[in-house]
Amino acid sequence: MHFWPEFSAWLDALPDTRFAPFIEYDKRFLVWWGLLLFCCKLGSRRQLDFDLRDSALPVLANVNRLAATRQRTLPVHDTLDHFLRHLGSAPLALLRTRMLRRLVRMKALDGARLLGRVVIAIDGTGHLHFARQHCPQCLVQHHDTHDVYLHMIEEAKLVGPGGMALSIGTAFIENTEVPARGGRDAEAWKQDCEVTALRRLLPALKGACPQTPICLTGDALYACRPIIELVEAQGWTYVFTFKPGRLPAAWADFQAVLGRSPEQTLQITLPDGTRQVYRWASGVTVEATNHRLYSVNAVQCEETTAEGKTTTFAWITNLPVTRDTVGQIAMKGGRCRWTIENQGFNLQKTSELHLEHAYSTDPDGLKAYYYLLQIAHIMLQLLEHGSLLRQLAATQGKTVLTLFGSLKNIARRLLEDLRHGLLPEEPRVALQIRLDTS
């Protein structure tokens, strides 16, 4: 594989607690079998049996070629589930980390850096929901007529060129402790939440990428002293959405400082006619819960489209804001937080990746499938944004989307290639793949 030449070795290093005498399928083969479930966007585990398990087609030869194995038969979907229950989710999380570290080291994603820093968007989202309690770790929402049991996730996605959102860190929002007594004790018991999960996620992310300069971007939920202190304790920078309702006193101070600093203004006109007016201030005062004061830098952008519609955006940051950096902070930092929603959560939920589908009944098995989905989505994004597809489309005078019609059709083409064609062997000459930054 072009981006991960050590991928097979990483798969060999995965632990395997299956009973050795009964092992029929190599773990490399089964990991690829699981990745193809998502790369081909099959939608459910059972669909593996219907779309890929056909001995009359070259699927077996293709998966053997991907996994560098010599399997003689194709597994049923329960074989994959059995393997993942033995493997567990933690080794797949480590595999994902290795893949992202490799992309960072080879500078494949440098086009999206902000002032030399890797930009990582953070946010929480729903993963699964049930009408009945699925496991002791379920979160619960009480409604007038019913209760809803949830599994949620706090996610960190590395922002890549062209708006890619590559999963690099995950904290599962779940109740690891349950109230021992009822009544007021139960009512006082607090469930796990996004902010608490972030307290676990950031140190883990620091451990995975200790030397990488990182800038976090997120919505106004994270624009508070405890989170800012946690971010700065890792030695990182941040760009968080700034709203008057979240920090009303700080917003008032920001507007007052802007009034005293009219020279700190920059106007930019984009190629499509959109006009952006940036204003910024340093030393904006924020009051913490302990009544101590601290200061942040703040940026405001008034954006007016060619049709005359004006929208105001604002962010707080610990990056130095100047005439030379304000536009980068806004566009590569603050505005990029939407990639985790659009290219990340929304695409994974509304496409055939089916993020909200329960691929297993085992709690840790659910996490294992989640990591497989994230790894597969990383691969798909690199394929979609890579220069190989662009070159193929250019030979027919088209763009990638006009050639294939949609991202869904790219997955369908991949499925048909696995079913009806023989994948080429690894090229003996080095390939250069460039990522689309548009």
Whether 408 contacts 384, CB under 8 Å: no
Compute and round to an integer the Cα radius of gyration of the chain: 24
Span 115-138, mean pLDDT? 93
Task: Tell me what percent of the residues of the chain surpass a pLDDT of 90.
Answer: 71
Within a domain: 340: no
Domain limits for position 396:
7-89+361-420
DSSP 329: I
pLDDT, position 328: 96
Within a domain: 375: yes
Span 27-53, mean pLDDT? 96
Helices 407-420 and 27-39, packing angle to 10 deg = 140
Whether 159 contacts 140, CB under 8 Å: no
Non-local (6+) Cβ contacts of 253 within 8 A are: 284, 285
Whether 167 contacts 132, CB under 8 Å: no
pTM score of the predicted model = 0.92
Q: Is the confidence at residue 221, as pLDDT, over 80?
A: yes
Q: Is the confidence at residue 365, as pLDDT, over 80?
A: yes
Within a domain: 308: no
What tokens appear for 243 in the block?
Answer: 């709203």
Whether 400 contacts 32, CB under 8 Å: no
Q: Is the confidence at residue 407, as pLDDT, over 80?
A: no
Within a domain: 383: yes
> Strand runs (DSSP E) across 135-175, as ranges?
139-142, 147-160, 164-173
What tokens appear for 234 in the block?
Answer: 């890792």
Q: Where are the alpha helices (DSSP H) in 261-397?
A: 326-328, 338-339, 347-350, 363-385, 387-394
Judged by average pLDDT, the poorest of 73-77, 211-215, 434-438 is 434-438
Within a domain: 241: no
The mean pLDDT value of the chain amounts to 90
Q: Among 328, 316, 249, which Cα is nearest to 280's?
A: 316
Within a domain: 365: yes
Q: Is the confidence at residue 270, as pLDDT, over 80?
A: yes
Within a domain: 138: no
pLDDT in tens, 49-94: 999 999 889 999 999 999 999 999 999 999 999 999 999 999 999 9
CA atoms of 179 and 189, how far apart (whole Å): 6
3-class DSSP assignment, residue 276: strand
pLDDT in tens, 142-175: 888 999 999 999 999 999 998 999 999 999 999 8
Reported as a pLDDT band with limits 50, 70 and 90, residue 286 is confident
pLDDT in tens, 289-331: 666 778 899 999 999 998 999 999 999 999 999 999 999 999 9
Q: Hey, CA dihedral for 392, 393, 394, 400, is it positive or negative?
A: negative
Reported as a pLDDT band with limits 50, 70 and 90, residue 186 is very low
pLDDT, position 187: 44
Whether 52 contacts 59, CB under 8 Å: yes
Span 400-429, mean pLDDT? 82
The 3-class SS string of 22-74 reads HCCCCHHHHHHHHHHHHHCCCCCCCHHHHHCCCCCCCHHHHHHHHHCCCCCCC
Reported as a pLDDT band with limits 50, 70 and 90, residue 239 is very high
Ramachandran sector of residue 205 (left: φ over 0; alpha: ψ -120 to 50; beta: rest): alpha
Q: Among 198, 197, 61, 184, which Cα is nearest to 139's?
A: 197
Span 170-183, mean pLDDT? 70
Within a domain: 343: no
Q: Is the confidence at residue 428, as pLDDT, over 80?
A: no
CA atoms of 266 and 285, how far apart (whole Å): 23
Whether 370 contacts 358, CB under 8 Å: no
How many structural domains comprise the chain?
1
CA atoms of 408 and 401, how far apart (whole Å): 10
Whether 214 contacts 242, CB under 8 Å: no
Reported as a pLDDT band with limits 50, 70 and 90, residue 21 is very high
pLDDT, position 432: 58
Length of the chain as a residue count: 438
